[in-house]
A and B are shown apart, each in its own frame.
Chain A
Amino acid sequence: MRHATKLAAIAAAAALSLAACGSSSTPSPGAGDTPAGTGGAALKVGMAYDVGGRGDQSFNDAAAAGLDKAKTELGVETKEASAVNGEAESARKERLQQLIDAGYTNIVAVGFAYAKSVGQVAKANPEVKFAIVDDASPDSAGPNVDQITFAEEQGSYLVGAAAALKTKSNHVGFIGGVQTDLIKKFEAGYVAGAKAVKPDIKIDVKYLTQPPDFSGFSSVDKGKAAAEGMYQGGADIIYAAAGGSGGGVFTAAKAAGKLAIGVDSDQAKTAAPDVRDVIMTSMIKKVDVGVYDFIKSVKDNTFKAGNRVFDLAAGGVDYSTTGGKIDDIKSKLDEYKAKIISGEIKVPTS
C-alpha cells in the first residue's frame, strides 16, 4: 500500500477535478420559487435539464426560457434539476421520479438522453404528463408523452448560407459539442447551406467530445481551444453547435477579431455581454416555444400526446438578426427559407 498513497492522490485529484468540471452549472437560484399572487392550486412543473443545465446560454437556457415564460404568464410552480455527465440510466429515471414524488406532476425532460427514462417513468405514472425535447422514438412514446422535435438541419442550412455569404476567406468552421446523431444534423444542414451558396467553400468540422463523454456541451475551455485552432487555420466564421461550450468559441472569436454563429437561443442576447458583438447570427431552436406550448396545453386541458415537429414552416427553427450584422443578406436568406418551406430545397439530415 505504500505506493497507494501516491496513487490515491492522483485518484482523489481526478475525483475532485471531475467534480470541478461540473461546477460550471450552478443550481438555479430560482428553482422552487413559487410565483407570488397565484390563487388556488398552481400547476406544478418539474424540469429535468440535459448536461450543462440552466445557465448554458444555449440549449438548456432555451428550455428554461419557456419555463420562465410559463411561470410569469401562466403562474405555474416549478422545480428544476439537471443531468450529470456520464450518469447512469437509473439516475435519470430517479430524477424524473423524484420530481413526481415532490408533487411536480408535469415533467419536461430536456434532451434525448431521457428517452428511455421518460418512457418507463411515464408508464409507471400514467396520471403525470410528460414532454421530452429532441426525441420522437418509440422508447419515449406513450399516451401521456408530448415528444417535441426540431428540424435543426433546416435552421442550420440558413446559418450555413449566411456564413458562406459573409465569409471573406471562403473558409468557415463548424464546432459540434458531442458527436451524436443529433449534432450531426446541425452539421449536415450547415454544410449543405454553405455549399449551396459557394460550392467551393472550405468547411472545417470538429467535435469537442465523443459519446459517452457529454462534457463537450459544457466545456468552455474545449470550445475555446478548438475555435482558436480553426481561426488560426484561416476560418473567419464558426458555427458553434456546442451548447455551453459555445461561450469559449465566442471568446476565441473576439480575441481573433472574427465572427461566430450561435445556437439554440438568440445568443447575441443570451451570451456573456462582452462577446455578444461577435455573434453574427444564431440558429434559433425554439425549445422555449415547445416547452411553453406543452405547459399551456396542460393548463388549457388541450394536451395531446405524440410527436410535434418544429420546423421552419412551423416557426420552430429560424435564424436571428440581432445586432444587424446580416441585414444586408437577409433577403437572400429569406429566399432560401421560402424554398425550404415550399419543399423546393430538401435539406439533408446526415
Chain B
Amino acid sequence: MTTRLGVRRILMGAAAPLLAIVVAVVVTSLILLVAGDPVGAVWAQLFKVPLPRQIVAIINAGTVYYLSAIAVAIGFKMNLFNIGVDGQYRVASFAAALFAGQGWLPGWLNVIVALLVAMASGALWAGIAGLLRVTRGVSEVISTIMLNAIATFLVAFLLSKTAVKVVGSNATNTKPIPEGSRVPGISLDGLIATPSRVYGLIVLAVVVGFLYWFVLNKTRFGFDLRATGRSETAAVASGVNVKRMVFTSMLLSGAAAGLVGMPLLFGQDYVYGDTVQSGLGFAGIAIALLGRNNPIGIAFAALLFAFLDAQGNGLQITAGVSDRLVLVIQGVIVLSVVIAYEVVRRAGIRLEQRTVAAQLAEQARTPLEGARS
C-alpha cells in the first residue's frame, strides 16, 4: 500500500514537469512558426550537447538559481509569496561586497563573516516585509515589490558613495575583495576538459539545500512551518503562533536570499557593481514552482533554467533568433507546469480517496455479504 502510493507519487511528480516541458516545446515551436523563424535551427541550438566550458557555466548559473529558489521556497512552504528575494539578494550582495572589500579580516575568515553579513542584510530587508505583515497586515506581495524598488535606489545611492574609481573605466564598483579572500573554483579536470572552474561556493548551495530539507522535514519548527502553510486555521488551533511564524520564515527566506549573490561575488566578480547580474529573485520564483519546493526538484529545475540560458545565448549567432525566446520558453514551462501540477495534485487526491474507500469497502464487504445472505 505504502510503497504503491509512494511510487505513484514519484511518478506523478515527475510526469508533470516532463509534460510541461513537452508543452513548452510545442507552444514555442508554434510561436516560431508564426514568426517565421527557423524552428529546426532553434531546437538544434537549444538541445545540442553543451561544450565543457558551457557545462561549467550551467552548473555555476544553476548554483545561483538554486539558492534563489530555495529562498523563495521557504516562503512558499508558509504560503508566503516572497517576491522580494530580488531586492534582498542585491542589498545583501552589496553589503557583503562592501564588507569583504575592506579586507578587515584575513582570508577565509573574511569570507565567512561576509557570508554572515549577507545573511543578516537579506534577513533584515525581508524582515521589514515580515514586520509589516504581522503588525499592520500588509500583504508581503505588495511590501516586497516596494522593497525591491527601494533596494534598487538605496543600493545605487550607496554604491555611488562607496564606489572605487578605476581610471578609464565607466563601471561603478565597490572595492575589490582582496586576493586572499576570493574563493577558488573547483576544477573538473578528469571529468571534462576545460579551464573553467565551478564556483567554490557551490558547497554553500548544497549546505543550504540540505538544511532546507532537514529543518522543514525533521524539526519541530519545520513541522509548525509546514502546518501553517498547509492550513493556517489548523495551525492556529494547534498552538502555532502564526505571526511569529510568518516573521521568522520571512527572516529565514531573506537570509537564504542573502546568499544568492555570494557565489558570484567570491567566485567571479569580486566586486559589487552596476553590471552585476539582476533578476535572480524572479527566476527563483519560477524555479521554486517548477521544482515543487522540493530540494532535489529545485536542483533539477535550476539546472534546466541554467541550461536553457546557456544554450539560448548562441541563438542569435547560430539561428538568428533573439535569445529572449528562452524567456518565452521558460515562461511557458512555468505556466504549463503549474497547471499540470494542479491537475495531477487533484487527480492524486481523488485517486487516494478512492483507493482508501475501495480498500475499506473491500475489507468491510466480505463479512457483510456473508451476513446478509
Contacts and interface: CB of A to CB of B under 8 A. Distances in A.
User: Direct A–B touching in the complex (beta carbon < 8 Å)?
Assistant: yes
Interface of A: 1, 3-5, 7-12, 14-16, 18-19, 22-23, 25-27, 31-32, 46, 79-82, 84-91, 94-95, 97-99, 102, 112-113, 115-116, 124, 134-139, 147, 149, 178-182, 209-213, 307
The residue in B172, B317, B335, B341 that gathers the most chain A C-beta atoms within 10 A of its C-beta is B317
Given A19-B331, A135-B168, A211-B172, 7 more contacts: A1-B345, A3-B79, A27-B321, A79-B317, A85-B278, A87-B277, A212-B277
Contacts of B328: 16, 19
Nearest to A82: B316
B72 to A, nearest CB: 9
Contacts of B321: 27
Interface string B262-288: 001000110001111111001001100
Interface in B91-115: none
Given A12-B331, A19-B324, A136 B168 contact: yes
A15 B331 contact: yes
A307 B170 CA distance: 14
Interface stretch (B240-248, B307-315, B353-361): B307-315
B81 A22 contact: no
B338 A81 contact: no
Nearest to A180: B274
Contacts, number: 183
7 contacts: A9-B338, A18-B282, A19-B324, A86-B277, A97-B53, A139-B169, A212-B90
B172 A212 contact: no
Question: Does more than half of chain B's interface fall in helix, strand or loop, or is it mixed?
Answer: helix
B260 interface: no
B60 interface: yes
Contact of A8 (B159, B160, B170, B335): B335
B170 A181 contact: yes
A52 to B, nearest CB: 12
B61 A213 contact: no
A1 to B, nearest CB: 6
A3 B80 CA distance: 9
Contacts of A135: 168-171
A147 B152 CA distance: 30
Contacts of B316: 27, 31, 80-82
A158 B318 CA distance: 43
A184 B240 CA distance: 53
Given A25-B322, A139-B166, A179-B156, A14 B285 contact: yes
Contact of B168 (A1, A98, A147): A147
B169 A112 contact: yes
B174 interface: no
Interface string B318-341: 101111100110110011001001
A60 B120 CA distance: 40
A14 B169 contact: no
Nearest to B167: A137
B250 to A, nearest CB: 16
Interface residues of B, number: 65
Contact of B61 (A86, A88, A211): A88
Nearest to A136: B168
A31 B320 CA distance: 7
Interface in B284-299: 285-286, 289, 292-293
B338 A112 contact: no
A11 B282 contact: yes
Contacts of A31: 316, 320
A91 B172 CA distance: 20
Nearest to A81: B316
B167 to A, nearest CB: 7
B322 A27 contact: yes
B342 interface: yes
B61 A4 contact: no
B57 interface: yes
B285 A94 contact: no
Contacts of B285: 7, 11, 14
B76 interface: yes
Interface in B75-94: 76, 79, 81, 90
B313 A15 contact: no
Contacts of B54: 94
Nearest to B314: A98
A19 B313 contact: no
A84 B324 contact: yes
A307 to B, nearest CB: 6
B171 A210 contact: no
Contacts of B221: none
A292 to B, nearest CB: 22
The residue in A9, A80, A124, A179 that gathers the most chain B C-beta atoms within 10 A of its C-beta is A179
A336 B222 CA distance: 70
Given A86-B277, A90-B61, A113 B171 contact: yes
B327 A15 contact: yes
B47 interface: no
A335 B141 CA distance: 57
B338 A8 contact: yes
A63 B282 CA distance: 32
B175 to A, nearest CB: 15
Contact of B324 (A22, A99, A113): A22
Contacts of A180: 170-172, 274
B156 A211 contact: yes
B153 interface: yes
Contact of B171 (A82, A90, A137): A137
Given A1-B345, A19-B328, A89 B264 contact: yes
The 3 A-B residue pairs whose C-beta atoms are closest, nearest first, are A211-B274, A136-B168, A137-B169
B171 A81 contact: no
A233 B335 CA distance: 43
Given A27-B316, A31-B320, A11 B289 contact: yes
Contacts of B322: 22-23, 25-27
A16 B159 CA distance: 30
Nearest to A11: B285
B342 A5 contact: yes
A181 B275 contact: no
B154 to A, nearest CB: 9
